Structure 1
C-alpha cells in the first residue's frame, strides 16, 4: 500500500467532511421554526462532522501527510451556491427543500466513503476509522431521510 495513496484518499474524504460542515452551517437555523424537533439531531450531526474531521486529520498527519484542513470540494461549493440561490427565491417550501438538501449531501458523502473503502488505497487503520465514520453517516442519512419522507406525507 502506497502511503501517498492513503493520504490522497484521506484528503478527499476530508474535503467531503468539510463540505458537510459548511453545508450544515449554511442551513443552520433555516428550518427550526418549522421543524424544531430536528434541532437536536442536526446539532449532533455538526458535532459528529467535526469529530470525523479531526480523526481524518490525525490519520493524515500520522502518515506524515499535510491535511487540507479548510478545503472543500468544488462540487460541494457549487452545491451550496445553488442551494443559496434556490433559498433566496420566494417560495413556501424552502424548509422542505433544505431537508431534502441535507439528505442529498448525506447520500453524496456515503458514496464517497464507500468508494474510498473499495478503492484499496487505505491502510488497515484508516479503513477501520473510515468504516466507522461511514456507519455514522448512514445512521444520520437514515434519520433525515425518514424525517423527509414523513414530512412529505403531511402535505
Structure 2
C-alpha cells in the first residue's frame, strides 16, 4: 500500500516538475518579448523562481526513491509548443502575454492543489504548499498587471 501511495505522490511531483519547467520557459519567453523593462525583469525573476521550485521538487522525488529526470508528458509538450507558437504571434502585445501567463498560472494552481490531495509526506506537503501559495500570489499579481495596463 505504501508503495502505491508513494507512486501516486511521485506521479504528482513529476507533473509539478513539468509544470515548473513550462513556467520557466514561458516566463523567459515573456521577458524577452516585453518592451517594459520592469515587467520584463519581473517575468525573468519569475522564471528563476520556477527553476528553484523545480529543483526543490526534484529533491523531493529523489527522497522518495524516484528518478529526477521524468519523461516529458505528451500533454505538456503540446502545451509548450502551443505556448511558444502563441507567444510568437503575440509579439510585444503586453496584454496578450500577461493573459497567456495568467492561463499558465491558473493551470499550475490546479496541479498544485491536486498534488496536495495525493497526501505527500508532511515535509513535501510543506514545500508544495509554500510553492502553491507563491504561485497564487503571482496569479493575483498578473491580474493586477492586467487591470493597470488597460
TM-score range, shorter chain: 0.7 to 0.9
5 Å-filtered alignment, 1:110-149, equals 110-120=109-119, 122-149=120-147
CA distance in 2, matches of 1:27, 1:47: 13
Query: Are the equivalent residues in 1 in contact too, given 2:17–2:58 (CA < 8 A)?
Result: yes
- What is the match of residue 81 of structure 1? 81
* 1:107-141 Cα shifts (integer Å, max 9, x gaps): 11011101111233x12111110000001101111
Query: Are the equivalent residues in 2 in contact too, given 1:20–1:105 (CA < 8 A)?
Result: yes
CA distance in 2, matches of 1:92, 1:127: 38
- Any unmatched runs of 5+ in structure 1? none
Higher relative contact order (CA 8 A, sep 6+): 1
Query: Are the equivalent residues in 2 in contact too, given 1:106–1:141 (CA < 8 A)?
Result: yes
Relative to structure 1, the CA distance from residue 51 to residue 61 in structure 2 (aligned partners, 3 Å threshold; closer, same or farther) is same
CA distance in 2, matches of 1:105, 1:112: 11
- Any unmatched runs of 5+ in structure 2? none
SS of alignment partner, residue 99 of structure 1:
helix
| Residue correspondences, number | 147
RMSD of aligned alpha carbons: 2.2
